[in-house]
Amino acid sequence: MHLMAMSVTQKMLAAKCGLGSVESGDLIFVNVDKVMANDITAPVAIAALDKVGLRIKDASKVILVLDHFVPNKDIKSAEQCACVRRFANDNGVKNFFDVGRMGIEHALLPERGLISAGDVIIGGDSHTCTYGALHAFATGVGSTDAAYAMANLKTWFKVPSAIGVKLKGSLGRFVTAKDVVLHLIGILGVDGALYKSLEFFGDVGSVGMDGRLTIANMAVEAGAKNAMFPLDKTCREYLLSHGAKADVSFNADDDCYEKTIEIDLDELKPTVAFPSLPSNVRTEWDCIKVDQVVIGSCTNGRLDDLRAAAEILKGNVVADGVRCIIIPATQKIYADALREGLIEIFVNSGAVVSTSTCGPCLGGHMGILAKGETCVSTTNRNFVGRMGHAESKVYLASPYVAAASAVKGELTTPDKV
């Protein structure tokens, strides 16, 4: 009999496999609520299904998003998308998001109300952990695991142990959720939460939903299996307003965490991850010239992020020699930014605004770096060669820092603009 204290994640997984309790290390078979794949991972899953002659069990639980190399950058990417289109059409997949309807997947799914509290979601993308901000268990899997889940709506997990992250206080001027998660990764390192849950509690009410999605998105950069935020008033209102459900919630037992990290939000400063790891964080630096700035991605392409960038860019211009690329994460976010006048601010400043796409984040298109070039980016990874040439450099930062750097032509903080 399991007598150990359980984390929120463990309780959620236990409920989904019909057990009274689980403990870390258990191997369990879990019912899955949603399976997601994109234009890179879906074709591999489709091939796996075809190879063994399986079909998807319930088309309403499969989500296909074309977002990485879309609009198609070359013939190969066009063929991959064509493969997914055919599959979606042949199998009646209604939650299929193509050009004009699509957005960056981890911004799109919450916006569309496809994630409810208490859900188990697996996705063919490592940043699927984003949905933990919605009090759901969400994690990335390989394409063959995604294929099996499409056919059976089940998957297996080893139950993770958990690290508690207690937030204390409130964020100061020009300090954002991106600074919170970079600070946390700096503490943990890129493998400090390997196959563990990162569960956030304390003064989470001081961080809005866009910010929570940012934090949960980057949990995997510390090696975490998943992130988890509580179902508080802010989360519940977000879910209900987007057509999702908010009727399942769990609380962590006392003493369930193997350790707890406390972050004093009042003490945080604008934080930057230097090349070439998200854990290489600093709050002070010497002059670093910038060639490109990217503001967008599944980490920081939401409306609050664009508002922050516009706050800095309004009345300013992008420095000579700097390319500033802004990518709203979804069509709705693009339209909202247009309605609020943010797009005009960006264009007047000398920035370019792209359609929704993962684009440069993974070195795909829409902003690839040449040898020796430097980029300040609001994306989530800065590994060697991540955005282009192996001898280019990427600095990860908040939209405030990225926009300020675009104006100054060097890595800087918004108070200096």
Query: For position 289, which CATH number holds?
Result: 3.30.499.10
Of 219, 238, 263, the position where a domain reaches its end is 263
The per-residue pLDDT for range 148-173, each reduced to its tens digit, is: 999 999 999 999 999 999 999 999 99
Residues 342, 378, single domain; the answer is yes
**Cβ neighbours around 410 below 10 Å, total:** 19
Residue 4 confidence (pLDDT): 85
Between CA 70 and CA 80 the distance in angstroms is 10
pTM of this structure: 0.97
What stretches in the chain show pLDDT beneath 50?
Answer: 1
Q: Which domain holds residue 371?
A: 272-416
Residue 91 belongs to some domain of the structure:
yes
Same domain as 97, residue 214:
yes
Cα–Cα nearest to 44, from 71, 68, 8: 68
In this structure, the dihedral spanned by the alpha carbons of residues 397, 400, 406 and 407, taken in order and rounded to 10 degrees, is: -150
DSSP E strand boundaries for 39-105: 62-65, 96-97
d(CA 386, CA 392): 9
Which structure tokens are listed for 62?
Answer: 């499969």
End-to-end CA distance of the chain: 60
Q: Are residues 26 and 149 in the same domain?
A: yes
Residue 109 lies in a domain: yes
The C-alpha angle 227, 229, 235, rounded to 5 degrees, equals 135
Q: Are residues 100 and 17 in the same domain?
A: yes
Question: How many separate domains does the chain show?
Answer: 2
- Any domain includes 252: yes
Whole-number pLDDT of residue 3: 64
Determine the 3-state secondary structure of 300 from DSSP.
Answer: helix
Q: Is residue 2 part of a domain?
A: no
Closest by CA to 196, choosing from 257, 273, 136, is 257
Cβ proximity of 328 and 298 under 8 Å: no
Q: Are residues 26 and 56 in the same domain?
A: yes
Considering the domain architecture, whether residues 210 and 335 belong to the same structural domain is answered as: no
Domain boundary among 238, 263, 288: 263
Domain membership flag for residue 372:
yes
Residue 55, class by beta-carbon neighbours within 10 Å (0-12 exposed, 13-18 middle, 19+ buried)?
exposed
The residue from 228, 263, 298 where one domain ends is 263
pLDDT confidence of residue 2? 52
What local confidence, expressed as pLDDT, does residue 1 receive?
41
